[in-house]
Chains A and B, each alone.
Chain A
Amino acid sequence: MAKIVAGIGTSHVPSIGVAYDQGRTQEPDWKPLFDAYEPVKQWLRELAPDIAVVVYNDHGGDFFFDKYPTFAVGASELYPVADEGWGRRPLPDFPGDADFSWHLCNELVYDEFDITVCQELAVEHGFMVPMHLCFDHDPDWPVRVVPVAVNVIQHPLPTARRCWKLGQSIRKAVERYPGDTRVVILGTGGMSHQLNGARFGYLNSEFDNDFLDRIEFDPLTLLETTHQEIMEAAGAEAVELIMWLTMRGALASEVIRVHRNYYAPMTTGMGLIALTDAE
């Protein structure tokens, strides 16, 4: 059976992508962020996963509010880089695995997750920033990908517990996939930030570090947290953090932490945690 070999929680701030494209990763204010990913990149090279399931939200890269799915799963052999409004980034398109994706979609729907299945999907910063932080692409990506898009921008959003259950369901689906496919799951977004109103730029590093503790040791304590509570404590856009629970729900109850980092230079707490099942 296929196996989940790693879970990564990471922010997906778009300015990281700009700095990356402009070759500014070693500038003093960016270096602490980019250098923190090097051990994770190395670990993932050693793990050599076949597939990356990336849980992210679309910020108007492909979806708009005419039809905005609560949960959407890619089922394509190729995911092009979206034009988000400032031109296409110089990254290779992302190879998919339609067989694996359709298996996942079948299993999720029969497990009562009524997802939108996407045979064409352009991916954007929420998806791409975590990918180039965690994987080299010289010249091609070393993994096939499955984008899993979650509505965390237009309320009503799925609950924290629902996102956790999605992760559990993804794990069951992976374990029912024949062969020895190795899967890494990335939960992306957050951490504390707010981009609207006079509270723009609000950060809460204490909240973020507590969240990093809990996602590792005590994730069940996060499941009853309401969107209101997250937004009050950590900013309106911090609610993206519920997507980390999908990653954590796909792992065992006991995990080993391989790496952790936190950096809050501008308007967003940029968190990173790398976990694997304790066995």
Chain B
Amino acid sequence: MTSQIDKTRAIEDTKIFDHEETRRGYRLNKFAMSMTKAENREAFKADEEAYMATWDLTDEEKQLIRDRDWRAIMKEHGGNIYMIMKIGAVLGHGLYQIGAHQRGQTYEEFLATRNASGAR
């Protein structure tokens, strides 16, 4: 069997969403997936604490959401971007805002790095 991933060649500033990441991030990603139902989005928007309390999240994970700490969620807590962006959408943080945060930039700084930022 030829491995498709070479662990000895880590890609800088990059997470590969593998078994370690998906196990680590399972609770946060499952919570994020709940946002595909309108009634859950409404409940979350109406009372973030009460809605989070109905899910299997650790205190640390709840704090990451309170802090909108996308960088830590993605880098250290197994967030999958396609799931986590569903939380962001409810809270008014779009994919590009989440991206800017991961890069350690403001949204405006990030947009200035793009070729044609009107296409967003």
B104 touches A198 (CB 8 A): yes
Q: Is B55 an interface residue (CB 8 A)?
A: no
How many chain A residues touch B (CB < 8 A): the figure is 45
- The contact string, 1 if C-beta is below 8 Å from chain B, for chain A 51-91, is 00000000111001110000000000000001111110000
Range for the number of chain B residues in contact with chain A: 35 or more
B118 touches A27 (CB 8 A): yes
Name the residue of chain B whose CB is nearest to the CB of A203. Answer: B115
Q: Is A236 an interface residue (CB 8 A)?
A: yes
- 8 Å CB contact of B22 from A27, A65, A86: A65
Within 8 A of A (CB), among B17-69: 17-19, 22, 26, 29-30, 32-33, 35-38, 41
Interchain CA distance A260-B19 in the complex, whole Å? 37
Complex interface: chain A residues within 8 A of B120 (CB): 15, 266
Complex interface: chain A residues within 8 A of B15 (CB): 196-197, 236
Q: A199-B14, A228-B9, A265-B118 are in contact. List 10 more A-B contacts (CB 8 A).
A: A60-B32, A64-B33, A85-B89, A197-B14, A197-B15, A197-B102, A199-B12, A200-B99, A231-B16, A236-B14
| A-B interface, 5 closest residue pairs, ranked by CB to CB distance from nearest | A29-B118, A85-B86, A265-B116, A265-B119, A59-B82
Give A contacts to B, CB under 8 Å: 14-15, 19, 27-30, 33, 59-61, 64-66, 82-87, 153-157, 159, 194-201, 226-228, 231-232, 236-237, 264-267
